[in-house]
Amino acid sequence: MLTKYGMNQWLTTAVVVYPIIGACVWLADNGEPAWWIPAGFLLVLWMCFAAFFRDPLRRPASNNPADFLSPADGTVSAVIRVAHHDATNGPALVIRIFLSVLDVHINRAAHDGTVVGLRHQPGRYLDARASAGARVNENLLLTLRLDDGRVYGIRQISGAIARRIICGVKIGQRLDRGQRYGMIQFGSTTELILPQPERATSLVQEGSRVYAGRTAIARLSALDSTK
């Protein structure tokens, strides 16, 4: 399955490439077998491009209501606690995930919540693997309110190759845990920001491999109480 967030790209290239492939096949079938080579090459090239927009079905590995799922596929590049974050308006636990060009790039909600904030910040396009990129690159911060009133954030951060952040939600919209809401094209970083770091536990460490909508990466205790 290919994502709707990249339909303009993969559908447009298909419209351009497939008639050329068809012409090559026609020539190959009519006494010019050498045309099978460009036909095969173009087909493989388009499939590699389309694979970037793949959108696999996912089921969460944990049904614990206190668990937060990974918002992105990739490798955990940092697990840090900060004294203040705009997403939580206070201390926060931040789990940063690096996505290579080979990863699935669909972003998903980490937990059930209502969208209460969308903030786009222009910036630079440093390598997404560099810690400085997380601070100065273009990014979009999505803030969601949990049913108990606390808020958490997901931040999509662009990279040297990724220059387009897509976030297909609006203020007031309800997102379910694991629900798709956007993507970044083509390589990038995604952060999960949790409130009350004294109550938040990371279930992953730097170097852990995670999958959006499947891997439980953090746990926030007492979701039904803010005491």
Q: Which of 158, 188, 202, 208 is catalytic?
A: 188
- Decide if 208 is catalytic: no
Element (H, E) at 22: helix 7-29
Distance CA 53, CA 224 (A): 37
* Count of helix runs (H) and strand runs (E) in the chain: 3, 14
Q: Are 196 and 91 in contact (CB under 8 A)?
A: yes
Supply the pTM of this predicted model.
Answer: 0.86
Q: Mapping DSSP to helix (H, G, I), strand (E, B) and coil, where does residue 142 land?
A: strand
The pLDDT score that the predictor gives to residue 12 is: 87
Q: Which residue has the tokens 């439980």?
A: 216
Averaged over 53-76, what is the pLDDT? 92
Task: Considering only CA atoms, give the Rg of the chain.
Answer: 20
- Work out the pLDDT band at 226, boundaries 50, 70, 90: very low
Judged against a pLDDT cut of 60, whether residue 224 lies above it is answered with no
Averaged over 128-150, what is the pLDDT? 84
Q: What is the mean pLDDT of the chain?
A: 89
The pLDDT score that the predictor gives to residue 133 is: 67
Following CA atoms 218, 76, 89, 168 in sequence, which dihedral angle do they give, to the nearest 10 degrees? -90
Cis omega before residue 52 (within 30°)?
no
Distance CA 74, CA 34 (A): 40
> How many other CB atoms sit within 10 Å of the CB of residue 226?
12
The pLDDT score that the predictor gives to residue 225 is: 44
- Work out the pLDDT band at 185, boundaries 50, 70, 90: confident
The pLDDT tens digits of the residues spanning 84-126 come to 999 999 999 999 999 988 899 999 999 999 999 999 988 777 7
Q: Are 218 and 200 in contact (CB under 8 A)?
A: yes
The pLDDT tens digits of the residues spanning 23-48 come to 999 999 998 899 999 999 999 999 88
Higher pLDDT, 50 or 91: 91
Judged against a pLDDT cut of 70, whether residue 201 lies above it is answered with yes
Q: Provide, rounded to the nearest whole percent, the portion of the chain with pLDDT above 90.
A: 63
